[in-house]
Structure 1
Amino acid sequence: MQQLPILFVFTFGAAFLASLPPGLLNLNAAKTSVEKGKTNGLIFALGVALAVMLQTYIAVRIAKLISRNQHVVEILLQLALVIFFVLAIVFFLKGKKHENKPLVLVETKKRNSFSKGIFLALINLLAIPYYSGLNTVFHSQGIMSYRIIDEVLFILAAGSGTFLAMYLYVIYFNKWEHKTTSFSKNSNFILSGLMVLLFVITAFRLYN
Structure 2
Amino acid sequence: MSYFSHIVLGFVMAFLSLTPPGMLNMTAVRTAIEKNRNEGIWFALGAALVVIPQAFIALVFARFFGENPHIVERLKLGGIFVLFLLSVVFFIQARKKFKGEGAKRKGKSFWTGMLMSVMNMLAIPFYLVLSSVLENKGLLNTEQPFINLFVSGVFLGAFTLFFVYVQFARVIQKRAQFIARNINYILSALFLVLAILTLFKLLK
Q: CA deviation at 1:188?
A: 6.7
Using the size of structure 2 for normalisation, the TM-score is 0.71
Q: CA deviation at 1:21?
A: 1.9
Q: Deviations over 1:21-42 (max 9, x none)?
A: 2222112211221232111111
- AA at the equivalent of 1:128: I
Q: CA deviation at 1:181?
A: 5.5
Which of residues 152, 155, 158 is equivalent to 1:159? Answer: 155
Q: How does 1:89-168 map to 2 (within 5 A)?
A: 101-104=97-100, 111-168=107-164
Q: CA deviation at 1:175?
A: 1.2
**Conserved 8 A contact 2:97-2:181:** no
Match of 2:48 in 1: 49
Match of 2:39 in 1: 40
Q: CA deviation at 1:100?
A: 10
Q: Deviations over 1:74-115 (max 9, x none)?
A: 777x78x979x98xx99xx99xx8x99544568898641111
RMSD: 3.9
Q: CA deviation at 1:171?
A: 0.9
Secondary structure in 1 matching 2:145: helix
Q: 1:67 to 1:134 in 2, by over 3 A?
A: same
Listed as ranges, the gaps of 5+ residues in structure 2 are 192-204
Using the size of structure 1 for normalisation, the TM-score is 0.70
Match of 1:201 in 2: none
Paired residues, number? 194
Listed as ranges, the gaps of 5+ residues in structure 1 are 196-208
Match of 2:7 in 1: 8
Secondary structure in 1 matching 2:138: coil
**Conserved 8 A contact 1:27-1:105:** no
Secondary structure in 2 matching 1:178: helix
Is residue 165 of structure 2 the alignment partner of residue 169 of structure 1?
A: yes
Q: Deviations over 1:124-144 (max 9, x none)?
A: 121011111111111111111
Match of 2:197 in 1: none
Match of 2:62 in 1: 63
Q: 1:33 to 1:181 in 2, by over 3 A?
A: closer
**CA distance in structure 2 between the aligned counterparts of 1:186 and 1:171, rounded to whole angstroms:** 22
